[in-house]
Structure 1
């Protein structure tokens, strides 16, 4: 297989890791007492995103800088924005329709932050992420991670382009990642959780993983003896080789440790769990290609619709929290509804818009964005409309003749 073909080949094992990550997040949101460490699935998302970003940038590495940047933003924004703005729009419609009036004002402010991708802004003590999750009154709490990722999009091309002028990309990324990690460790909880600069190290681990796998694959292709050996051995013989068995054992160990941390029923301090899960996810991605467990259809399909599921599940959970909290079976129903709606959205909307032309997607995003802005400012728009209507009515009620002193002035209307 050519280098270009391998770069375009979709790794099903990464979708499997994505599936594990979204299952962890759902477990934490719906059943936090059972899965108190499930939030670490978001850290896995950041590593996976770093891998994808590096792959997209490497594909355009030989292009002019402007083309490289344009291709990167075009591909990422066409993937993220249509569904993101659609879910915000539907959440706003439901906010006005079925949520209590007391939830409207605070959620409109959150929606404004969400459409601008600044949901990860510095938080006060009253706005702690985990407290907001526990309260369950904000439909857009979960958009903080998308805000972090989008903000990194404006940084990563600069990091990548500067790295192309250096001989060792891995060392360069390791230095930047180390600086980011130090910033993460010395910052307070709110900053270390929300700041994109405290998350750069996680994205860069994913980028380093991509560079390593590319180097590893290139090395394999250049080894003619290995190619000849593979061509004359069947799968059973290959799997029996010591190096293959070692890789399989290593894969299993890393998978088990990662899943164990994510599902451990006692909360682990983030200072320990975040670096461990992030590093182990990167280590797993280095060797997981072709892994049967991670590449199974169940996990990979969950990974396929994980973006829809992440966006959809939280507004539904918020509705349960505000309206149906006393009904435990309703929580199970909301979880199942989230999964069904996510599958439907993925199959009907995501697959549809990803096949549209760039111009059509741009028009769709603009339409959704305008609709969101209108709904966020709906009350003000109604007030302006009513005020204009009232002024028009008053103007129409002015009599035909108005008397000033002894003079009569006729007004033709």
Structure 2
């Protein structure tokens, strides 16, 4: 894994933490320029994740004789254990402290659909969110993985077009025909394609330039996001995110050797999952005891960072190889390498 991508992944995760702090503690009501910036622009962390996902998945499958089934098993082994753990943690929190989560409910069908990455209303007629709120992005991720698995049946150079066609059919034609949820009719899915394009450029050795050019790209993307525009999200935030990702990839030689940045990336998935219950509990305690929100934020940051490190070490690192062995993925992969 490129250290630059790891660093960017960690940065994106902590931006999302800031957004949810503003949501839970201030209901997005900003009191200064920094709060406004986080509340109004911090959602771009998700867009960066999606671009990175397209980039990483394309590179991770290049030149590998993966079948669609084996690819999906590997994705399930990587994504599902931690997500299920924190979703079930939310079940326990909501069941034991319902006053802390007045808008959540625990109907078995809703919990099951949350666990299975199926888009469903959190309440009748209300926005589509799983029990663990950030799971809505994983619904898109799992859709992307499923569609990308079919692209493994064709040559590497055609995979972008296969995924693009399938995304169009599922996300835009499917809802019209009643074959897919309208939840997926979101231009944000185009950001996966942007990541694949960056992966193709990287594979061809085209992500090289003098440092001033990628730095200029990051500055231009930041200015574009700050000023914003009344255009679809894939253009307003997706394109700048893609520019930031390709710029960081180009700057990879300057990131190499940083153990701290690698650690940020390693723990980013657990940070993304664990911060929701941590902030929810922190907001509840701060409100009841009259604690300053920013004092509680510091506590939540420490708890999230320590908890994410433990989650990565004891949950992610242990379950992923264990499940791959259980699924028989590693053994089959080695046999495939011998065959080819």
The match for 1:280 is 243
Unaligned runs of 5+ residues in structure 1 are 1-9, 133-137, 221-243, 363-413
Residue aligned with 1:311, SS: helix
Q: 1:45 to 1:122 in 2, by over 3 A?
A: same
Counterpart of 1:55 in structure 2 is: 59
* Cα drift, residue 45 of structure 1: 0.7
CA–CA separation in structure 2 for the residues paired with 1:172 and 1:287: 25
Cα drift, residue 49 of structure 1: 1.0
Displacement after TM superposition at 1:250 (Å): 1.3
Q: If you compute each CA radius of gyration, which structure gives the higher value, 1 or 2?
A: 1
Deviation at 1:247, TM superposition (A): 2.3
CA contact 2:188–2:238 (8 Å) conserved in 1: no
Partner Cα separation in structure 1 for residue 245 and residue 181 of structure 2: 20
Q: Distance in 1 between matches of 2:113 and 2:197?
A: 31
One of 269, 272, 281 as aligned partner of 1:307: 269
**Separation in 1 of the partners of 2:153 and 2:247?**
27
- Give me the whole-angstrom Cα distance separating, in 2, the residues matched to 1:104 and 1:124: 9
Alpha-carbon distance in 2 for matches of 1:175, 1:355: 31
Range moving further from structure 2, 320-329 or 343-352: 320-329
Contact persistence 1:148–1:195 (CA under 8 A): yes
- CA–CA distance in structure 1, aligned partners of residues 114 and 187 of structure 2: 20
* Contact 2:77–2:320, Cα closer than 8 Å, also in 1: yes
Change (3 A) 1:41 1:149: same
| Conserved? CA contact 1:183–1:198, under 8 Å | no
Structure 2 residue 200 is matched with structure 1 residue 201:
no
8 Å CA contact 1:47–1:202 kept in 2: the answer is: yes
Q: Deviations over 1:302-332 (max 9, x none)?
A: 1110000101001222233455345313343
Query: Could you tell me which residue of structure 2 aligns to residue 339 of structure 1?
Result: 305
Is residue 11 of structure 1 aligned with residue 15 of structure 2? no
1:144 aligns with one of 136, 143, 149: 136
Contact residue 68 and residue 152 of structure 2 kept, 8 A: no
| Contact 1:57 1:68 (C-alpha < 8 Å) held by counterparts | no
- Report the TM-score, using the length of structure 2 for normalisation: 0.73
In 1, Cα distance between equivalents of 2:53 and 2:267: 15
- Closer, same or farther in 2 for the Cα pair 1:105/1:43, shift >3 Å? closer
- Distance in 1 (CA, whole Å) between partners of 2:145 and 2:274 is 23
1:172-321 aligned within 5 A = 172=161, 176=165, 194-195=183-184, 198-216=187-205, 246-259=209-222, 264=226, 269=230, 271=232, 272-284=235-247, 287-292=250-255, 296-321=258-283
Query: In the alignment, does 2:316 pair up with 1:350?
Result: yes
Write the deviation string for residues 41-61 of structure 1: whole angstroms up to 9, x where unpaired.
11111111112221233232x
Q: How many angstroms apart in 1 are the aligned matches of 2:283 and 2:259? A: 33
Alignment partner, residue 70 of structure 2 = 71
SS in 1 for 2:204: helix
Q: Distance in 1 between matches of 2:281 and 2:219?
A: 34
Say whether the 8 Å CA contact 1:353–1:361 is kept in structure 2.
no
CA distance in 1, matches of 2:239, 2:182: 16
Question: Among 4, 21, 43, which residue is 2:12 paired with?
Answer: 21
In structure 1, distance between residues paired with 2:142 and 2:163: 22
Distance 1:179 1:279, change over 3 A: farther
The alpha carbon displacement at 1:300 in A equals 2.9
CA displacement, residues 139-161 of structure 1 (integer Å, 9 cap, x when unaligned): 52211001110122111122343
Are residues 260 and 210 of structure 1, via their aligned partners in 2, closer, same or farther at CA, if it must alter by over 3 Å?
same
The correspondence of residues 129-168 of structure 1 with structure 2, limited to 5 A, is 140-162=132-154, 164=155
Give per-residue Cα distances to partners, 1:338-359, cap 9 Å, x unaligned: 2221111112222222342535
Q: CA deviation at 1:261?
A: 6.0
